[in-house]
Amino acid sequence: MNDTNRVLNRIVLFVVGLVLIALGAVAVLATAWNPARDAWSAATEAGDTWLAGAADATTIGATTASWVAIGAVVLIVFAIALLIVLLTRVGGGRSRVVARSDASETPLGRVVVREGFASDALKSALSTRPDVLSVSVSASDVRRQPVMHVAVTPRQNTDPRSLAEDVDRLVTNLAVVTGQQIPTYISVHSGLRAKLAADHRRLA
C-alpha cells in the first residue's frame, strides 16, 4: 500500500547518508593528510575573502547588515522547511484518525474513527488471548487516506496466521460497528522480544 513512499524514504535517507559520509571523509583527510589540510585551508581562506567582499559590497545603508546575510538566512529557512515537507510527504503523515467519511457517504452521517477508540477496542478484545504479549495501534495518512497499523507481539510458538485472522476479524467487526471501512495492515512481531517477555503482558 505504501511501497512507493517507502522507496522514496529510503532514497532520501541514502542521499543524506552519502552527504554525511562525504563530509566525514573530508574532515578526516583535512586532519590527517597534509596536502588535503593545505587545500582545505586555502579553500576556506578564499571563501572567507569572497564572503567578506560580498558583504561589504551589499551592505544596507549605514547598517552592518547585508543582503548576502539576509539571503543566506532566507535560504537556510527555506531549505529546512522544504526538508520537513519532503519527509512528511515521503514517510506518510502521522495521523490520529483511522477512518473518516462525509455526511453523504453513510446513513450515519459524518463519521470519524479516531486512533484512541480503535486502539482501546482492539486491545480490549485481544486481552482475552493469553498468547498475546503486546498490541500497538497507530494511524498514518498514506496518499491522503487514513490507514491503521496494528502491530502484535505474540508468545513463542503462536500461530501467526491464526493471530492475523483473529485481528482481521476484530477490524471487520469494528468496521461494522462504526459503519466505516478501515484500511488496515497487520504486522506480527517475534524474535528476542518474545523470548525475553516471559509471563509479562503489555496490552494497555
Q: Residues 85, 98: one domain?
A: no
Q: Residues 101, 83: one domain?
A: no
Q: Give residue 109's pLDDT.
A: 64
Q: How far apart are CA 167 and CA 150, in angstroms?
A: 8
Q: Residues 153, 191: one domain?
A: yes
Is residue 87 over pLDDT 70?
no
Which residues on neighbouring strands pair with residue 114, listed in sequence order?
97
- % of residues, the chain, pLDDT over 70: 77
Q: Is position 203 within any domain?
A: no
The number of angstroms, rounded, from the C-alpha of 204 to the middle of its chain's C-alpha atoms is 23
Q: What pLDDT, in 10s, does the model give residues 156-196?
A: 888 888 889 999 999 999 888 877 788 888 988 876 655 56
Q: Give residue 55's pLDDT.
A: 72
Q: Is position 201 within any domain?
A: no
* Number of domains present in the structure of the chain: 2
Q: Give residue 2's pLDDT.
A: 42
Q: How confident is the model at residue 143 (pLDDT cuts 50, 70, 90)?
A: confident
**Closest C-alpha among 151, 132, 142 to residue 98:** 142
Is residue 29 over pLDDT 60?
yes
Q: What pLDDT, in 10s, does the model give residues 95-135?
A: 577 777 665 555 556 777 787 888 888 888 888 888 888 88
- Using DSSP, how many helices (H) and how many strands (E) does the chain show? 6, 6
Is residue 30 over pLDDT 80?
no
Q: Give residue 169's pLDDT.
A: 92
Is residue 56 over pLDDT 50?
yes
Mean pLDDT of 40-52: 81
Give the residue from 91, 114, 143 where a domain finishes: 91
Tell me if 155 sits within 8 A of 165, measured CB to CB.
Answer: no
- Show Cβ contacts of residue 145 under 8 Å, excluding neighbours closer than 6 positions: 183
Give the residue from 58, 74, 91 where a domain finishes: 91
Is residue 1 over pLDDT 50?
no
Q: Residues 34, 108: one domain?
A: no
Give the residue from 91, 107, 130 where a domain finishes: 91
> Could you list the residue range(s) of the whole structural domain that residue 68 is in?
3-91
Is residue 20 over pLDDT 70?
yes
Mean pLDDT of 73-82: 88
Q: Which set of grid coordinates corresponds to residue 179?
A: 459503519
Q: Residues 61, 110: one domain?
A: no
Q: Residues 42, 119: one domain?
A: no
Is residue 65 over pLDDT 80?
no
Q: Is position 204 within any domain?
A: no
Q: Residues 86, 99: one domain?
A: no
Q: Residues 163, 179: one domain?
A: yes
Angle at alpha carbon of residue 142, lines to 137 and 146, rounded to 5°: 55
Write down the pTM of the prediction: 0.49
Q: Give residue 90's pLDDT.
A: 53
